[in-house]
Structure 1
Amino acid sequence: MKLGRFVVEGLDGPVQRICMVLPEQNRVIDLRAAEALRLQAKGATREAALRYASTVFPESMSAAIALGQQFLDTAAEAAEKNGADASLAMDGLKWGAACDPSVVRDGLTFTKHIRQFHERMNVTPQPALLEIPGYFKGSPWTVIGHDAEVPWPARGQRIDYELEIGWVIGSRANNITPDTALAHLFGVTIFNDFSARDLQANEFAIGMGPTKSKDFAYGIGPWITTIDEFSDLNAIKMSVRVNGETWGEGDSSEMLWTPEELIAYVSIGDHIQPGDVIGSGTMGDGSALELGRSLNPGDVVELDVGGVGVLRNRIGQRPEESWWPERRDPFM
């Protein structure tokens, strides 16, 4: 099953609607509308049907996933009974981010990318990369969806994409182990960890992890494919195109740390929540940095992940100069 969110304009502003996505038919099913119609056919009033349907299919994908199997069962039944009457053509839809995670987490697991990234950044890989599946935490407030424009970061000059798989968490977990981690995995999406490489180099020197080099945009979408549709998480085809030209191709086979190990490690002493998205780390040749290239305003980036689809975003224009900290000299 493929599940996403599209945006409609309401009286109080934009509203997110959860939908079942049928790419091969070029349509989506508005699940809230389909469920309301199903309930009305069984005798519910329109008002009561909408109240119930809005609970099962709220604006938040994370809240819907938290309902567990009831969410998927109701989606399947509503689509089967009234999907035809609640369908919309995909053409012209405004997409929201496929998920609204409580926190962004992004790993570093692809061996080829690790090697090439460190070579380009002129730094030596740390032995700790072989000891733990490292990851960083980012802002959930800058998550964007399919076809959204990527805001150019303040003071950034060298902008990059990063082709990653997004592991979508299905149930709350704490201190789990790899052998049980897959039971907590809801599905797979595409994760674009946009980066400002010039800012990133400066932040690396501080040693506290990335901030402004990352927290201007995280692409998540175009939708989520539920985990039952994948037979092998280590054989997912991946590619990236910029302005229609293929810049990188590969698959998920070269992960140093498995999805199960990454998810389990994140849960140690912490709590993963339904709808959280954990980035797999960038595929080898999955960033412009590895090719000695970078992005320009107006460039269109398309990340293609087998079994999911294509996440497309356009790079925005450079902003006007804004406030930025001035260098301090403690010995003045």
Structure 2
Amino acid sequence: MKFGRISRESPDGPIARLVVVEPEKGRVIDLARAAALHAKATFHAGDAAAVRLAQAQFPGSMAQALANGSNLVDAARTVIEGRFGDEASLPIGDVTWLPASDPPVLRDGLTFIGHIKGWHERMGRDVPESMLLIPGFTKNSASTVIGHDAVVPWPGYITEKMDYELELGYVIGRRGSSVRPEEALDYVFGITLYNDFSGRGLQHNELPIGMGSTKSKDFAHAIGPWITTLDEFEDLDAISMEVRVNGETWGKGNSGGKLWTVAELVAYVSLGEIIEPGDVIGSGTMGGGSALELGRQLEPGDVVELEADNIGVLRTTMGQKEEGLWWPTPRQPFM
């Protein structure tokens, strides 16, 4: 099953709604609407009570919906059966998409061998031996997550080498801590697409500080268009992936060739800390899945499409550079 989040108008302004996505039928089903119809018909609930029950069961937050328990898929199937799903459906081309998840914590791994080698080569850095010892990942800002068909903010301090990153996003469905690899996939609800935009010029200056990438990445993270539940994938290392810029294919491959498995990455992330429902863990960039590896870069107005088999297409448009921002003045050497 596929789950997404959309924005709908209400008397109080736009509200987030959880939907089941049926691309083959060209529609989405508003779960809260279907649940309210189901409650009235099945339990004879009044209008106001039906709405309260439906919104509690299917909130607009993916994180909250997953935190309600492990029965999200079964509950969704129940309320969209028959006429309730039909009456609560909307044309897929008419909806406004929100990020597929609203992650409490957003993390991004580094697992694809091809990208590890290509990134280090292009950035003029040696692959550290420590990458063979532990899975690498960063914590990114969840406050700048955007969804399908969004415009990507472009802060003017990123003056060169704007980049996309073709990644999968593993959406956590259960709360856990220090899980082991053999049980880690039980904590993954589904998979989405994740575009970890990067300003490579600024990243080149940030990395020697030794505290990771910050302003070179945390201006925008695209997640979507929706989440496909894990049971729909036969092989997590055989998902076809592609990235296009303005309709031209810039990278194509699959989800194989990893240094660390999905289970090992999730398990390592959970060590000594808590993973929460709705959290997103990026797979890291597929080999050849960044403009950096091609010696290319994005420009304002470019349309970037990430595609993965059995998930869909995550499309975003690069915005215009936001000028007039403050930037620190370089200091004199103190050593």
| TM-score, structure 1 normalization | 0.98
Task: Work out whether residues 169 and 272 of structure 1, in 8 Å CA contact, stay in contact via their aligned partners in 2.
Answer: yes
Give the length in aligned residue pairs.
332
Q: In the alignment, which residue of structure 1 is the partner of 2:22?
A: 22
Q: In the alignment, which residue of structure 1 is the partner of 2:13?
A: 13
Amino acid at match of 1:304: E
Kindly state the Cα deviation for residue 72 of structure 1 after the two structures are TM-superposed. Answer: 1.6
Kindly state the Cα deviation for residue 328 of structure 1 after the two structures are TM-superposed. Answer: 1.3
Give the Cα–Cα distance (whole angstroms) in 1 for the partners of residues 331 and 155 of structure 2.
23
Unaligned 5+ runs, structure 2: none
Task: Work out whether residues 70 and 173 of structure 2, in 8 Å CA contact, stay in contact via their aligned partners in 1.
Answer: no
Q: In the alignment, which residue of structure 1 is the partner of 2:116?
A: 114
Equivalent position SS for 2:56? helix
Q: Spell out the pairing of 1:274-285 with structure 2 (5 A cutoff).
A: 274-285=277-288
Task: Work out whether residues 4 and 20 of structure 2, in 8 Å CA contact, stay in contact via their aligned partners in 1.
Answer: yes
Q: In the alignment, which residue of structure 1 is the partner of 2:157?
A: 155
Amino acid at match of 1:152: W
The ranges of structure 1 where at least 4 consecutive aligned residues each deviate by more than 4 angstroms after the TM superposition are none
Which of 287, 312, 327 in structure 1 is aligned with 2:315? 312
Q: In the alignment, which residue of structure 1 is the partner of 2:189?
A: 186
Equivalent position SS for 1:204? helix
Kindly state the Cα deviation for residue 330 of structure 1 after the two structures are TM-superposed. Answer: 5.1
Amino acid at match of 1:227: L
Which of 161, 164, 189 in structure 1 is aligned with 2:167? 164
Task: Work out whether residues 70 and 174 of structure 2, in 8 Å CA contact, stay in contact via their aligned partners in 1.
Answer: no
Kindly state the Cα deviation for residue 69 of structure 1 after the two structures are TM-superposed. Answer: 2.7
Q: In the alignment, which residue of structure 2 is the partner of 1:241?
A: 244
Of the structure 1 ranges 63-72 and 272-281, higher mean CA displacement relative to structure 2 is found in 63-72
Task: Work out whether residues 153 and 196 of structure 1, in 8 Å CA contact, stay in contact via their aligned partners in 2.
Answer: no
Q: In the alignment, which residue of structure 1 is the partner of 2:38?
A: 38
Which of 262, 266, 286 in structure 1 is aligned with 2:265? 262
Report Cα offsets for 1:24-44 as digits up to 9, x if no partner. 111000010001001111211
Give the Cα–Cα distance (whole angstroms) in 2 for the partners of residues 308 and 322 of structure 1.
37
Give the Cα–Cα distance (whole angstroms) in 2 for the partners of residues 133 and 10 of structure 1.
44
Q: Given the superposition, is the C-alpha separation of residues 40 and 67 from structure 1 closer, same or farther in structure 2, using an over 3 Å criterion? A: same
Give the Cα–Cα distance (whole angstroms) in 2 for the partners of residues 253 and 58 of structure 1.
35
Report Cα offsets for 1:128-184 as digits up to 9, x if no partner. 111110100010000000000000023102210000010011101101110010111
Q: In the alignment, which residue of structure 2 is the partner of 1:2?
A: 2
Q: In the alignment, which residue of structure 2 is the partner of 1:84?
A: 86
Which of 279, 301, 306 in structure 2 is aligned with 1:303? 306
Report Cα offsets for 1:60-81 as digits up to 9, x if no partner. 1011011223322111111114
Kindly state the Cα deviation for residue 261 of structure 1 after the two structures are TM-superposed. Answer: 0.1
Amino acid at match of 1:72: V
Q: Spell out the pairing of 1:29-108 with structure 2 (5 A cutoff).
A: 29-42=29-42, 43-81=44-82, 82-108=84-110
Unaligned 5+ runs, structure 1: none
Of the structure 1 ranges 113-122 and 154-163, higher mean CA displacement relative to structure 2 is found in 154-163
Amino acid at match of 1:315: M
Give the Cα–Cα distance (whole angstroms) in 2 for the partners of residues 295 and 70 of structure 1.
42
Q: In the alignment, which residue of structure 2 is the partner of 1:221?
A: 224
Give the Cα–Cα distance (whole angstroms) in 2 for the partners of residues 278 and 137 of structure 1.
9
Kindly state the Cα deviation for residue 205 of structure 1 after the two structures are TM-superposed. Answer: 1.4
Give the Cα–Cα distance (whole angstroms) in 2 for the partners of residues 331 and 29 of structure 1.
61
Give the Cα–Cα distance (whole angstroms) in 1 for the partners of residues 311 and 305 of structure 2.
13
Task: Work out whether residues 96 and 145 of structure 1, in 8 Å CA contact, stay in contact via their aligned partners in 2.
Answer: yes
% identity of equivalent residues: 57
Give the Cα–Cα distance (whole angstroms) in 1 for the partners of residues 264 and 81 of structure 2.
37
Give the Cα–Cα distance (whole angstroms) in 2 for the partners of residues 225 and 331 of structure 1.
52
Task: Work out whether residues 155 and 323 of structure 2, in 8 Å CA contact, stay in contact via their aligned partners in 1.
Answer: no
Which of 115, 127, 135 in structure 2 is aligned with 1:125? 127
Task: Work out whether residues 101 and 276 of structure 1, in 8 Å CA contact, stay in contact via their aligned partners in 2.
Answer: yes
Amino acid at match of 1:168: V
Give the Cα–Cα distance (whole angstroms) in 2 for the partners of residues 25 and 294 of structure 1.
36
Give the Cα–Cα distance (whole angstroms) in 1 for the partners of residues 173 and 70 of structure 2.
10
Task: Work out whether residues 97 and 144 of structure 1, in 8 Å CA contact, stay in contact via their aligned partners in 2.
Answer: yes
Amino acid at match of 1:231: E
